[in-house]
Amino acid sequence: MYNINMAKRIITEADKDGKGFIHSLAIDAVIFGFHENQLKVLLLEYKSTGLFALPGGFIKDRENLNDAASSVVFRRTGLRNIYLEQFYTFGNYSRYDPAPMKAILKAKKTPAPASHWLLQRFITVGYYALVDFTKAIPTPDAISDSCKWYDLNELPALMQDHNLIIAKALETLRVSLDQKLTGFNLLSAEFTMGELQSVYETILGKKMLRAAFQRKMLSLGILELVAKKMTGKAHKAPYVYRFIKNNV
C-alpha cells in the first residue's frame, strides 16, 4: 500500500543514499485521457521552479517493476485496473541532467549534496496508461505542487527528455490502436460509433470516412449492440455499443 510518509522520506537528507530503493532506475508514466475530442496528458508542475514533468516513481528493492508502475498511476489518478503498457526504456547518457532535480530539492528546502542518489544518472522505463478522464482524480506527489491535464497539442516544455517520452508513447499507441483496443479506457462503458471514431481520429491525428470506419469496427467482432441512444428522434438516433468483454 502507498505510504505518503515514505514518499516524503525518499527526498530527505536522511535518505540521501536512497535506502530501500533500486538506484539509477526510475519509472515515467504517460497517462492519456480523452475528453471533448481532445487527447489529454497528465503532468506534474513544480510551481516554485517552473518545471513540468511526467508522473514518475522509483522501484523498491523487493518490488515488481509492473507493480511499481501501477502504483505510480494509481497515486496520480486514484484508478486501478486500467490499461497500462511498458513501451520503451530511455537510457541515453544525454538525458542525464541533475539540474532539474537539484532545483526541486532546493525549492523544498531539502539539502542536496552532489552524492544524493536523486542527483545521479537514471535510466527510466516508460509506461503509458489509458484512463477514463471523468473518473480520474489528479493528485500531486510529495514534491510537486499540482497535477493537471494538458492538451496533447499544447504541452509545456518538460524537464529532461519527457517531451520525447510522450512522443514515443503516442507513436506506440498509434501502431497498436486496433489490436489493443486503446479506446476501451478512454470512453465510458457504452458509446456511439461516432464517439469511438472521435477517439481514433484524435489519436491518429487524421479524419476517417464514417462508413469505412464503421465497417472496419464491426468486422473486428469486438463490439456488441446495446440500444439506440434516445435523442427524441428515433429514426435518427445513433446506436449505442460496448466492447465484448471476452475480447478485451
Q: Average pLDDT, whole number, for the chain?
A: 86
Nearest to 2 by CA among 62, 54, 64, 68: 68
pTM comes to 0.84
What CATH number is given for 4-175 in this structure? 3.90.79.10
- Which CATH code of 1.10.3720.10, 3.40.190.10, 1.10.10.10, 3.90.1150.10 fits the domain covering 191-247? 1.10.10.10
pLDDT tens profile 195-222: 999 999 988 889 999 999 999 999 988 8
CB distance 29 to 73 below 8 Å: yes
What are the residue boundaries of the structural domains of the chain, listed by start? 4-175, 191-247
pLDDT tens profile 61-102: 999 999 999 999 999 999 998 889 999 999 999 999 999 999
SS (H, E, C) 112-169: CCCCCHHHCCCEEEEEEEEECCCCCCCCCCCCCCEEEEEEHHHCCCCCCCHHHHHHHH
Res. 14: pLDDT tops 50:
no
